[in-house]
Amino acid sequence: MKQIKLSVSNREKLGGNNAKRYRKANKIPAVIYGESGEKNLLLDAKEFSIAARQISGIAALLDISFDDGTESRYAMVKSVERNPITDAVLHVDFIEVVRGKPMAAEVPIHVTGEAFGVKNENAVLEQHLHEMKIKCRPRDLPEFIEVDVSDMHLGDILTLADLKLPEGVTLDMDGDRTVVTCDAPMAEEAPAEPAEGDAAAPAEGDAAKSAAPAADAKPADAKK
């Protein structure tokens, strides 16, 4: 389990105008929800950007400490609101994780290896799920679930129920969901053949031309 430290401060002034002023000062408004109660926070934009890069592609706990020394909490990022044009972070929601108590989380699925079917049977590997819901205690939280596809042959399917989970981790969604398939490549569609008789039938304009005599054609000599 990876833990990332993140320092935050209390946010006392709420509302859209105050949020804009915070952002101009490189502060990001945030909220943490959970057993200890809802609390409004301010994040340092640069510090959160560093933390976000560290947890990109993995599941990790954030060790959130308040800069006034009043408290600290474990949490995970629930959602991040971004500016649709600049991609700048506008707001962050955290969900509290209570030490020693079971938690629910979504963890990434990482596919490793090269499938036998891809190497030897002209198959195509496709990953259908990139995250999965699990339950575990915070100390057992895996950064990701690894799936080795080396032994997959043409026609093979891996579902969530087929995956081997770490000790202390249980699946929290339908085990029948497909994770990876090893299928034959889709055949390209052949161009449509013309309907019978279409090729022989001249275009309307061409038919008219063929029916009319050539402009410079001379009439045959009359019999004397």
For the segment 66-118, what is each residue's pLDDT rounded down to a tens digit? 887 778 899 999 999 999 999 999 999 999 999 889 999 999 999 999 999 99
Do 4 and 61 form a contact (C-beta atoms < 8 A)? yes
Do 90 and 23 form a contact (C-beta atoms < 8 A)? yes
Environment class of 70 (CB within 10 Å of its CB; exposed 0-12, middle 13-18, buried 19+): exposed
Q: Are both 2-99 and 104-183 of the same fold?
A: no
Q: Per-residue pLDDT for 201 more than 80?
A: no
Structure tokens at 178: 């497909």
Superfamily of domain 104-183: Ribosomal protein L25, C-terminal domain (2.170.120.20)
pLDDT given at position 219: 47
Residue boundaries of the structural domains of the chain? 2-99, 104-183
Q: Per-residue pLDDT for 65 more than 70?
A: yes
**Residue among 4, 30, 34 at smallest CA distance from 96:** 34
Radius of gyration (Cα) for the chain, nearest Å? 32
d(CA 27, CA 17) in angstroms, rounded, equals 13
Provide the pLDDT confidence category of residue 198 given band limits of 50, 70 and 90: low
pLDDT given at position 208: 47
May I ask the CATH architecture of the domain 2-99? Beta Barrel (2.40)
Q: Report the number of secondary-structure helices (H) and strands (E) in the chain.
A: 4, 13
pLDDT given at position 217: 46
Mode of pairing for the β-strands spanning 60-66 and 2-10: parallel
What confidence tens digit (pLDDT) does each residue in 122-178 have?
999 999 999 999 999 999 999 999 999 999 999 999 999 999 999 999 999 999 999
The angle at the Cα of 79, spanning 25 to 136, to the nearest 5 degrees, equals 130
d(CA 152, CA 219) in angstroms, rounded, equals 79
Q: Per-residue pLDDT for 224 more than 50?
A: no
**Residue among 78, 60, 75, 89 at smallest CA distance from 8:** 75
If DSSP states are collapsed to H, E and C, what string results for 11-76? CCCCCHHHHHHHHHCCEEEEEEECCCCCEEEEEEHHHHHHHHHHCCCCCEEEEEEECCCCCEEEEE
Task: Determine the length of the chain.
Answer: 224
d(CA 110, CA 60) in angstroms, rounded, equals 15
The residue among 113 and 210 whose pLDDT is bigger is: 113
